[in-house]
Amino acid sequence: VGLSAADDAFLERALELAAIARRSAPPNPNVGCVVVRDGVILGEGFTAAPGGPHAEVAALEAAGEVRGATAYVTLEPCAHHGRTPPCADALLAAGIGRVVIAARDPAPWVDGRGVERLRAGGVAVDLLGEQHPLAIRARCENAGFRTAVTLGRPHVTYKAAVSLDGRTATRTSDSRWISSPESRRLVHEWRAAAGAVLVGVDTAIADDATLTARDCVPAPARQPLRVVLDRTARLPITARLVRTASAGPVLVMTGPDAPAERRAALEEAGVETAAVDDLAGAMAALHARGVQSVLCEGGQTVAGALLEAGLIDRIALFVAPIVIGDPAAPGIFGAGIAPARVADALRLASLEPRTSGPDILLDAWIRIPA
Ligand SMILES: NC(=O)c1ccc[n+]([C@@H]2O[C@H](COP(=O)([O-])OP(=O)(O)OC[C@H]3O[C@@H](n4cnc5c(N)ncnc54)[C@H](OP(=O)(O)O)[C@@H]3O)[C@@H](O)[C@H]2O)c1
């Protein structure tokens, strides 16, 4: 599709709107919509919490009379009756003349039907090509939703803070704090938008963190599920994670043979436990609970195991302006894919730097969502 610079700018605005709904939209995809006539924005909208209006309906309501106007949407308008009526119908009824769509909706209950319905109603539809930078951005914006729908598991972001020389702690397991307050505040925002935050039991013990989303503006309406991978259920009930179980749900995922009395002790303390076979089983169990996105904040052991299992989609690496300079200090992946040749290394789909206070955030996507 040949889009003008103005088209791109309105789609970018729609993507900004979509980002506002990151926390509140799930399990629905967070979408943004801008309605424009003669280069002037008539109305804007983004996905409300489940049950509330979708982005298109919100933008149409804000715009008023929109006959012949263009709607820019970050995701294909829905064509089915869910908790709300189809957005494609709302656009048709309002008399919208053209719809520019950043990305197809991969859900089997939409998957092209929104576009078909609009075209059948006489609307000009421009759907961006899959490799268009704004199409990629739009798919990344809905990474959790798209991964859940297309792969049947949550989208996994591995987040770590490292020294310039790639160390995640000192040899004595001290890691407080490698990244800056600005970076840590950003992580709290990510936690608030994640379906689950996940660590290995050794991080849960060493850092004794609560892993709740705090320091967010506005304050989070809900806490992410906090998950500990702990095959023998050895997480002490004195751990902060356990002691804060009333502040938000905690799930300890054990191996199939974890001692029943330890599981019982954890459950007694208000923590849920679930037995899984392996990492794929853990992801399947989270998917079954409706978790679409996982923020992994575990150490190098869990990170390496996830990488090896092909279960990391994105790496968010905060590189701090410090040097630890110790080969005995842990790195990012304790084990993993370990290719013999550089040619066989895992190649990223994209890598972008961003500043975060005094740190540099490397945003690395291993897999761009389909
Ligand atoms: N700088 C950073 O960003 C950062 C982030 C996190 C942690 N850290 C630091 O890293 C250190 C902890 O790292 P770590 O690697 O020891 O902790 P970890 O990766 O969080 O936890 C490792 C443990 O997870 C359990 N586990 C459960 N399922 C597993 C699976 N499928 N594969 C592998 N392990 C599994 C294992 O214990 P079981 O076999 O008993 O289940 C394993 O010993 C701490 O010093 C912490 O401060 C730094």
What's the 282 CA to ligand 1 centre distance in angstroms? 15
- State whether the beta carbon of 28 lies less than 6 angstroms from ligand 1: no
- What is the mean predicted confidence (pLDDT) over 41-60? 97
- Contacts of residue 75, defined as CB under 8 A and 6 or more positions apart, other chains included, come to 18, 29, 31, 101, 102, 103, 105, 138, 142
Residue 44 known to be catalytic: no
- State whether the beta carbon of 127 lies less than 6 angstroms from ligand 1: no
Q: Determine the residue of 190, 302, 322 to mutate for testing ligand 1's pocket, defined as the one with the most ligand atoms within 8 A of the Cβ atom.
A: 302
- Which residues, in sequence order, are bridge partners of residue 73? 33, 101
Residue 369 to residue 234: CA distance in whole angstroms: 35
- Contacts of residue 325, defined as CB under 8 A and 6 or more positions apart, other chains included, come to 165
What's the 302 CA to ligand 1 centre distance in angstroms? 5
Q: Percent of the chain, pLDDT > 70?
A: 100
pLDDT band at 191; cut points 50, 70, 90? very high
Single out the catalytic residue among 56, 76, 141, 297. 56
**Listing from the earlier edge strand, what are the strands of the sheet with 40-46?**
40-46, 32-37, 70-73, 98-101, 124-127
pLDDT tens, 108-123?
999 999 999 999 999 9
Mean pLDDT of the chain: 96
- What is the mean predicted confidence (pLDDT) over 180-199? 97
Indicate yes or no: pTM above 0.85. yes
- State whether the beta carbon of 187 lies less than 6 angstroms from ligand 1: no
Q: Determine the residue of 229, 241, 322, 332 to mutate for testing ligand 1's pocket, defined as the one with the most ligand atoms within 8 A of the Cβ atom.
A: 229
Residue ranges of alpha helices (H) inside the chain are 5-20, 55-63, 87-94, 113-120, 133-141, 143-151, 181-193, 201-207, 240-243, 260-268, 279-288, 300-308
Residue ranges of alpha helices (H) inside 289-359 are 300-308
pLDDT tens, 26-36?
999 999 999 99
- State whether the beta carbon of 161 lies less than 6 angstroms from ligand 1: yes
| Nearest residue to 76 via CA among 8, 5, 139 | 139
pLDDT at 1: 60
244 within 8 A of 208, measured Cβ to Cβ: no
